[in-house]
């Protein structure tokens, strides 16, 4: 994969933004907000610095920040907005990390604790066989007593039930744990060997969770049992080296500072320069119900829009930015499509992590409804598979923008 090739190549530019007039109008439209120089950089496809990032967090005029992000979004994707027909499976909520922000984790025996057997995972896949599901997104808590074979068995169970489904599973945190079990129980020394086993059993790519905010200050306070940011990046590097793509995330709207967020984003950007393996950035809005951070208010819709926009502007080498509809009200996700986001995730079916933490969105949305949400926001819906190959497109040009390049 080549790094840093996506912004400003202009291949997908729309008329409104690609012309010199559009660029000049953009710069002028944000002058009063004090970010005309940043607009000039964006128009010229120059990389924004960490200091620029801090100015975007400080800029009072959110719409000005949004206009810059929208310019980039339209230059890369035009009106195209991606979704997929997917289902989520959270295979266990057993967890020993005790993160302050989490409402999902349980200890075995606690009220509501569960761990799905491979057969139960298969049943969940089977229950959706009448729908055109192309992806299962499978993440869970971390529990050291789960044997190595279990992880391979749940992958095999999915593929046995629906052989053509793409399995996007295991965050970097889960992978680190699976590697420890692989070493202990199967003599697998390296993460590379473990990834080879997982791939053989059916793993196709990895989701972006578990990164939280890389800040050591916050980790020590609130998720000290979890791997460091450095280790998260190291595991992601190995995943990409093994030829698997992954997503990346940042948990925002709690106790983090703008400096910590900029640091997080530029570290993701640096790894992407190296590997090109991240497909999509997903800012995750903190949900405060039923966890140790319940005294915090969580982000507002305006915070969410700013986060998406700044992600789009700083992560100049990541193709896609996702407004995950489950965690923001659907109208906010629709507005987000003009604040840098070009993806809304998928049909989901069953979700626990955000609903345990107070999400009020539905558990599932029909494919037709997703299409309508995107159309109502004035964008062109494009159904994708996990690797952004186009399954169906409302774009008359049917351009497979963002189609996956081979992994290095």
- Give the one residue of 66, 78, 210, 283 binding ligand V47; rule: CB under 6 A: 210
Q: How far apart are CA 397 and CA 94, in angstroms?
A: 47
User: Which is closer to ligand V47, CB of 232 or CB of 339?
Assistant: 232
Strand ranges, E, within 107-180: 135-138, 166-169
CB of 20 to ligand V47, least distance (A): 36
Task: Select 165 or 282, whichever has its Cβ closest to ligand V47.
Answer: 282
| Window contacting ligand V47 (CB under 6 A); options: 175-183, 222-230, 281-289, 369-377 | 281-289
Radius of gyration of the chain (CA): 20
CB 240, min distance to ligand V47, A: 14
Asked whether position 345 contacts ligand V47 by CB under 6 A, the answer is yes
Distance of closest approach, residue 32 Cβ to ligand V47, in angstroms: 34
Residue whose C-alpha is closest to residue 346's, from 391, 312, 394: 391
From the CB of 309, what's the least distance to ligand V47, in Å? 19
| Phi-psi domain of 319 (left: phi exceeds 0; alpha: psi -120 through 50; beta: other) | alpha
Whole-angstrom Cα distance, residue 54 to residue 156? 45
**248 close to 239: Cβ distance less than 8 angstroms:** no
For the segment 100-159, give every residue that binds ligand V47 (CB under 6 A).
Answer: 101-103, 139
Nearest residue to ligand V47, by Cβ distance, number only: 209
If the CB atoms of residues 128 and 222 are measured against ligand V47, the closer one turns out to be 222
Closest CA to 161 of 128, 137, 131: 128
Tokens, residue 355: 């609903």
Q: Does 357 contact ligand V47 by CB under 6 A?
A: yes
Closest by alpha carbon to 327, among 306, 309, 345, 349?
345
Query: CA nearest 57: which of 298, 269, 310?
Result: 310
Supply the minimum distance, in Å, between the C-beta of residue 279 and ligand V47.
9
Buried b (16+ CB within 10 A) or exposed e, 370-379: bbebbeebeb
Nearer to ligand V47, 8 or 283 (CB): 283
* Candidate ranges 177-185, 209-217, 311-319, 390-398; the one touching ligand V47 (CB under 6 A): 209-217
Q: Is 385 in the site for ligand V47 (CB under 6 A)?
A: no
* Nearest CB to ligand V47, comparing residues 67 and 322: 322
Residue 272 found at the interface with ligand V47 (CB under 6 A) = no
State the residue for tokens 């007039």: 21
The nearer residue to ligand V47, 139 or 198, going by C-beta atoms, is 139
Contact residues: ligand V47, CB under 6 A: 101-103, 139, 171, 207-210, 212, 247, 249, 251, 282, 284, 286-287, 291, 324, 345, 353, 357
């Amino acid at each position: 994969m080549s790094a840093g090739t996506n912004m400003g190549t202009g291949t997908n530019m729309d008329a409104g933004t690609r012309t010199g007039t559009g660029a000049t109008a953009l710069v002028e439209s944000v002058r009063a907000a004090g970010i005309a120089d940043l607009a000039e950089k964006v128009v010229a496809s120059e990389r924004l610095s960490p200091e620029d990032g801090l100015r975007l967090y400080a800029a009072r005029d959110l719409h000005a920040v949004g206009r810059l992000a929208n310019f980039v979004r339209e230059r890369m994707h035009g009106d195209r907005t991606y979704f997929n027909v997917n289902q989520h499976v959270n295979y266990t909520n057993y967890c020993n990390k005790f993160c302050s922000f989490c409402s999902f984790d349980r200890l075995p025996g606690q009220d509501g604790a569960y761990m799905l057997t491979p057969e139960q995972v298969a049943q969940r896949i089977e229950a959706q066989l009448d729908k055109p599901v192309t992806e299962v997104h499978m993440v869970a808590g971390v529990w050291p007593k789960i044997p190595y074979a279990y992880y391979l068995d749940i992958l095999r169970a999915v593929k046995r039930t629906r052989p053509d489904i793409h399995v996007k599973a295991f965050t970097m945190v889960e992978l680190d744990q699976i590697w420890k079990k692989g070493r202990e129980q199967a003599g697998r020394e390296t993460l590379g060997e473990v990834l080879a086993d997982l791939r053989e059993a059916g793993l196709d790519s990895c989701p972006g969770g578990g990164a939280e905010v890389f800040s050591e200050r916050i980790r020590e306070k609130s998720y000290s049992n979890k791997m460091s940011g450095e280790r998260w990046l190291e595991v992601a590097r190995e995943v990409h080296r093994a030829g698997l793509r992954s997503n990346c995330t940042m948990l925002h709207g709690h106790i983090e500072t703008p400096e910590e967020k900029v640091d997080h984003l530029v570290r993701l950007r640096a790894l992407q320069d190296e590997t090109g393996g991240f497909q999509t950035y997903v800012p995750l809005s903190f949900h405060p119900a039923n966890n140790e951070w319940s005294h915090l208010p969580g982000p507002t819709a305006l915070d969410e829009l700013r986060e998406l926009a700044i992600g789009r502007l700083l992560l100049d080498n990541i193709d896609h930015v996702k407004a995950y509809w489950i965690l923001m009200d659907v109208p906010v996700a629709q507005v987000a499509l003009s604040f840098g986001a070009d993806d809304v995730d998928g049909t989901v079916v069953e979700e626990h992590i955000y609903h345990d933490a107070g999400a009020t969105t539905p558990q599932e949305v029909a494919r037709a409804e997703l299409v309508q949400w995107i159309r109502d926001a004035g964008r062109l819906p494009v159904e994708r598979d996990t690797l952004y190959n186009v399954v169906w497109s409302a774009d008359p040009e049917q351009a497979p923008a963002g189609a996956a390049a081979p992994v290095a």
